[in-house]
């Protein structure tokens, strides 16, 4: 999976739903800085949060 495409997809979906990074972060139980990192290419953390939440 290309980390840049994934970050772009996260941002597009967030914006499509008219959410700020802070709003998405609150829904997922992470910080807005974490969402920012996901959107700018740090996908490994995103995958970890998804796995840990299962």
The DSSP code for 20 is -
Q: Dmax over Cα atoms in the chain, in whole Å?
A: 26
How far apart CA 27 and CA 36 sit, in angstroms, is: 14
Q: What is the pLDDT of residues 20-52, one digit of tens each?
A: 999 999 999 999 998 998 888 655 555 555 555
Class of domain 3-52: mainly alpha
Residue-level pLDDT at 18: 98
The tokens for 43 are 């996908």
pLDDT at 9 > cutoff 70: yes
| Cα angle for residues 25, 29, 31 (degrees, 5° grid) | 50
Residue-level pLDDT at 31: 93
pTM for the full predicted model:
0.69
- Domains of the chain: which residue ranges? 3-52
- Whether the Cβ atoms of residue 44 and residue 4 lie closer than 8 Å to each other: no
């Amino acid at each position: 999976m290309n980390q840049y495409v994934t970050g772009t997809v996260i941002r597009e979906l967030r914006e499509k739903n008219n959410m700020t990074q802070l709003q998405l972060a609150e829904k997922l139980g992470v910080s807005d800085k974490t969402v920012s990192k996901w959107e700018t290419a740090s996908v490994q953390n995103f995958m970890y949060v998804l796995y840990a939440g299962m």
